[in-house]
Amino acid sequence: MLVSIKWLKDYVNTQELPPAELGEKITRAGIEVDAVIDRSEGLSNIVVGHVESCVKHPEADKLNICQVNVGEETTQIICGAPNIAAGQNVIVARPGARLPGGMKIKKAKLRGEESNGMICSLQELGIEGKLVPKAYAEGIYVLPENAEVGSDVITNFDLDDTVLELGLTPNRADAMSMLGVAYEVGAILEEEVKLPEITYKEAEDKASSMLTLNIDSPEANPLYVAKVVRNIEVKESPMWLQQRLMAAGVRPHNNVVDVTNYILMEYGQPLHAFDYDLLETGNITVRHAKTDELITTLDGNERKLSLNNLVITNGEKPVALAGVMGGANSEVSKNTTTIVIESAYFESGSIRQTSKEHNLRSDASSRYEKGVDPNRVIPAAERAAQLLSELAGGEVLAGSVIFDQLQREEKIVNVSPDFINSRLGMKIRLDDMLDILNRLQFKTEAMNNQLMISVPTRRQDIQIEEDIVEEIARLYGYDEIPSTLPETATSPGGLSPYQQKRRIVRNYMEGAGLLQATTYSLTSEKSATQFAMKHTELTRLLMPMSEERSTLRQSLLPHLLESVSYNTARRIDSVALYETGSVFLKGQDELLNEEEHLAIAVTGLWLDNSWQGEKKAVDFFVVKGIVEGLAAKLDVELEFERGELDGLHPGRTAFITLDGRRIGVIGQLHPNEQKARDLKTTIVMELSLAELFKEQTEALVYTQVPRYPSITRDVALVLSKIVEAGTIEKLIRSAGGKLLKDVRVFDLYEGDNLEAGKKSVAFSLTYFDPEKTLTDEEVTAVHEKVVAALIESGAELRS
């Protein structure tokens, strides 16, 4: 909502406050002033000029040489506007004048001809092109014939004004009108509100003699007022009206349309004007549309209607989409002489539905959607009659044609001063409360420690006691509220075990050298299930904004890999990222099964300390080590089993299992996938934190530090390449019995010195007895058993 302060002063005394100060007061009281716009900013030395003569420039087709009377003198100005003509009153920027954007006017020579100033368009005065009347959109603006030559344009045409741009919240529909803003400002400044005085002369003929009215849908249209004005002259509106509309962000058209828009802005009540003759039938019938009925609206679009749409008809065909937009078939034009003015109350839900269905929002529909003041419908119609008789020379027929079943009593809210104070934690005196309610013009009766408040119909947002609490508080001043802390029983507060584990994972990952990433949950249908361990049905948005963000992800990896590629494309060759976040799987319920996952993606060098000769590229085991460390931290036993997954290297992929359940996957990207993503060797891992966190960790009880030494024996084996170290380790463990404390691989060799298809793996075995120092003989006895078992399994001892 754009509020011209000059216009506002018609209704309320603004106490000559500087606009910024007024804006601040309005903001602090509850309606945010987003901007304070000085309409004359950067303008000076601009006067009314009269074009005495206008001839073509001999050297330039598009230029005219004008002799312009600017009051003090008649001077020559070159003008390139297509609509310049002798006899016009125009806006002249004199030499020395300033225009918005810092432009300064100087005497100049154009193609050899002197030019002492500039004849201006409205755009050149800083008015947005879309607000300039169509007739002047492509050229200069022409002032009325009675404009005083030489007078100051800025003051004479109300450009010395400031506009407050209000950012309205949906509850404050009352402030979508100048009168509504006036009531608000009046309450803030403790000033009275002055309503427009409506007086006009009526003709003897009655409106009802020319127009009949039928309302078929009283629930959607409980109040309809029509006035008939005849013998009007459709023409340009006076300057003051045009300027006020432009200040309010509305483009002037002609006096009839401008009057309806002016009253829309003034009262917040949408009006519509029909050309009476084009109505043809002298009847207005409001009803719901028939299926597939057609109307061409004023914006030139033909619309196919549905049963939900309320339409205004002439008894036969639609002439307007009720409360949203008029029809082209009854549009007011230059030739119109008699008009019907409609002021109606349409139910908000009906308008919202129609507006949404046709994707058509207008100043009218946005007000109806939020609910207009039922007590302004009739005054707005009267105000229109007044202005049309004043500005269009119209003759207003007596009375109105009216249908009225609208309830419009004031809402009564009962609230006690104690309630107000206890909700606020304040001690506001009753007198102060009554004063505030009086400023708001809420009629209030106070008795028995109870306030009975009648809320004016313009304030439909006030329904319950708490709404009154807010009104009192905002006008009393939120700065006056003290600061206290809740006096509730204090509980310790804290993180749940799950939340604690999530933080442990985060700290561990960062200690391991990974950066935490965050990616989007919405992805393309194509990548939604890539790398997902459990494919479920896709979950698509009903109306995605793009295919790229159309479907909920079932794996974190596609976006995490995109982030890796983003970095490598910027020549950051070593990237180590992790993310925790939800994947979205179809479940039993209508809601999805949202499972929190952990994902890792690494590429490039893991260790880079080259000047000391230490350099290690990422590989499967780097990431496996991280997962093993995490398992140790969380005290869970994870196992890795060879597996395959689309997009991963078939020889370098393992599923991560917990108690036999697959909870994750780890692997190197398939070379084709790497190529497609423009990546070098990249290792990824994803696992379900939900699964990982399922089990409660056992209490930590310390194990005694060994009192006896352990003894280590090594064994080097030659194995077939297909035999996995893990298999051998299991064999060693089972043969080693309880004295075998630990088994580790300490060497792997697959070189030329071995038979083809063979590899050498060396294990280090640690023996330990918590009860005593083991003797060599005891260890040898067990170790030989282990070796025997290995040989029996087909392993050869490496000499």
Partner 1 sequence: MEAQLNELKTQALDKIAAASNVKELNAVRVAYLGKKGPITDLLKGMGKLPAEERPKMGALVNVVREEVTARLEERMAILEEQAINEKLQSETIDITLPGRPVKSGNAHPLTRVIEEIEDLFISMGYEIEEGPEVEKDYYNFEALNLPKGHPARDMQDSFYISEDILLRTHTSPVQARTMEAKGGEPIKIICPGKVYRRDNDDATHSHQFTQIEGLVIGEDIRMSDLKGTLSVFAKKMFGEDREIRLRPSFFPFTEPSVEMDISCFKCGGEGCNVCKKTGWIEILGAGMVHPNVLEMAGYDSKRLTGFAFGMGPERIAMLKYGIEDIRHFYTNDVRFLSQFQRTEV
Feature table: binding site for Mg(2+): 461, 467, 470-471
Per-residue contact string for residues 740-759; x = within reach of partner 1 by CB under 8 A:
--------------------
CB of 581: closest distance to partner 1 in angstroms? 8
Nearest partner of 152 among 209, 94, 196, judged by Cα:
94
Pick out residues in 259-278 that bind partner 1 (CB under 8 A): none
Asked if 549 touches partner 1 (CB under 8 A), the answer is yes
Nearest partner of 10 among 177, 237, 182, judged by Cα:
182
Q: Which amino acid is at 406?
A: L
Asked if 534 touches partner 1 (CB under 8 A), the answer is no
CB of 517: closest distance to partner 1 in angstroms? 4
CB of 545: closest distance to partner 1 in angstroms? 6
Pick out residues in 512-531 that bind partner 1 (CB under 8 A): 512-522
Three-state secondary structure readout of 346-396:
CCHHHHHHHHHHCCCCCHHHHHHHHCCCHHHHHHHHHHHHHHHHHHCCCEE
Helices 255-267 and 377-391 sit at what angle, rounded to 10 degrees? Answer: 150
Pick out residues in 440-469 that bind partner 1 (CB under 8 A): 464, 466-467, 469
CB of 513: closest distance to partner 1 in angstroms? 3
| Pair of tokens at residue 221 | 């249209």
Q: Please count the residues of the chain.
A: 799
CB of 36: closest distance to partner 1 in angstroms? 12
Query: How far apart, in whole angstroms, are the C-alpha atoms of residue 735 and residue 740?
Result: 9
Candidate list 101, 102, 112, 482; residue touching partner 1; CB under 8 A: 482
Pick out residues in 169-228 that bind partner 1 (CB under 8 A): 169-172
Nearer to partner 1, 319 or 475 (CB): 475
Query: How far apart, in whole angstroms, are the C-alpha atoms of residue 579 and residue 684?
Result: 12
Candidate list 265, 364, 473, 765; residue touching partner 1; CB under 8 A: 473
Candidate list 199, 291, 335, 496; residue touching partner 1; CB under 8 A: 496
| Pair of tokens at residue 666 | 């780890």
Nearer to partner 1, 236 or 461 (CB): 461
Span near partner 1 by CB under 8 A; candidates 526-534, 580-588, 663-671, 777-785: 580-588
Per-residue contact string for residues 372-411; x = within reach of partner 1 by CB under 8 A:
----------------------------------------
The radius of gyration of the chain's CA atoms, rounded to the nearest angstrom, is 41
Asked if 628 touches partner 1 (CB under 8 A), the answer is no
Asked if 542 touches partner 1 (CB under 8 A), the answer is yes
CB of 654: closest distance to partner 1 in angstroms? 23
Nearer to partner 1, 342 or 691 (CB): 691
CB of 248: closest distance to partner 1 in angstroms? 22
CB of 795: closest distance to partner 1 in angstroms? 36
Span near partner 1 by CB under 8 A; candidates 213-221, 450-458, 584-592, 685-693: 584-592
560 CB neighbour count, 10 Å cutoff: 23
Candidate list 92, 575, 679, 735; residue touching partner 1; CB under 8 A: 575
Candidate list 101, 112, 300, 486; residue touching partner 1; CB under 8 A: 486
Is 620:508 a contact under the CB 8 Å cutoff?
Answer: no
Is 191:185 a contact under the CB 8 Å cutoff?
Answer: yes
Torsion sign, CA atoms 571, 573, 574, 577: positive
CB of 548: closest distance to partner 1 in angstroms? 10
Backbone angles phi, psi at 761, to 5 degrees: -125, 130
Asked if 506 touches partner 1 (CB under 8 A), the answer is yes
Nearer to partner 1, 294 or 481 (CB): 481
Nearer to partner 1, 414 or 518 (CB): 518
380 CB neighbour count, 10 Å cutoff: 26
Query: How far apart, in whole angstroms, are the C-alpha atoms of residue 366 and residue 351?
Result: 9
Torsion sign, CA atoms 228, 233, 236, 237: negative
Nearer to partner 1, 457 or 550 (CB): 550
Span near partner 1 by CB under 8 A; candidates 64-72, 251-259, 282-290, 420-428: 420-428
Q: Judging by beta carbons within 10 Å of its beta carbon (0-12, 13-18, 19+), is residue 610 exposed, middle or buried?
A: exposed
Is 668:683 a contact under the CB 8 Å cutoff?
Answer: yes
Backbone angles phi, psi at 295, to 5 degrees: -145, 140
Q: Which amino acid is at 431?
A: D
DSSP-assigned letter for residue 517: -
For residue 638, the SS3 value is strand
Asked if 129 touches partner 1 (CB under 8 A), the answer is no
Nearer to partner 1, 224 or 606 (CB): 606
Query: How far apart, in whole angstroms, are the C-alpha atoms of residue 326 and residue 362?
Result: 11
Pick out residues in 585-624 that bind partner 1 (CB under 8 A): 590-592, 594, 606-609, 611-612, 614
Nearer to partner 1, 547 or 714 (CB): 547
Candidate list 217, 454, 539, 793; residue touching partner 1; CB under 8 A: 539
Asked if 423 touches partner 1 (CB under 8 A), the answer is yes
For residue 398, the SS3 value is strand
Asked if 35 touches partner 1 (CB under 8 A), the answer is no
Nearer to partner 1, 470 or 778 (CB): 470
Query: How far apart, in whole angstroms, are the C-alpha atoms of residue 20 and residue 12?
Result: 17
- Tell me whether strands 283-288 and 212-215 are parallel, antiparallel or unpaired: parallel
Span near partner 1 by CB under 8 A; candidates 24-32, 70-78, 238-246, 790-798: 24-32
For residue 627, the SS3 value is helix
| Pair of tokens at residue 91 | 């806006």
Nearer to partner 1, 262 or 620 (CB): 620
Per-residue contact string for residues 343-362; x = within reach of partner 1 by CB under 8 A:
-----xx--x----------
Helices 465-476 and 430-439 sit at what angle, rounded to 10 degrees? Answer: 90
Nearer to partner 1, 312 or 622 (CB): 622
For residue 204, the SS3 value is strand
Nearer to partner 1, 94 or 370 (CB): 370
CB of 266: closest distance to partner 1 in angstroms? 22
Nearer to partner 1, 156 or 574 (CB): 574
CB of 146: closest distance to partner 1 in angstroms? 43
For residue 120, the SS3 value is coil
Per-residue contact string for residues 669-708; x = within reach of partner 1 by CB under 8 A:
----------------------------------------
DSSP-assigned letter for residue 287: E
Is 444:438 a contact under the CB 8 Å cutoff?
Answer: yes
Span near partner 1 by CB under 8 A; candidates 302-310, 329-337, 471-479, 651-659: 471-479
CA distances (Å), origin 693, targets 109, 251, 658, 684: 83, 63, 11, 21
Is 224:218 a contact under the CB 8 Å cutoff?
Answer: no
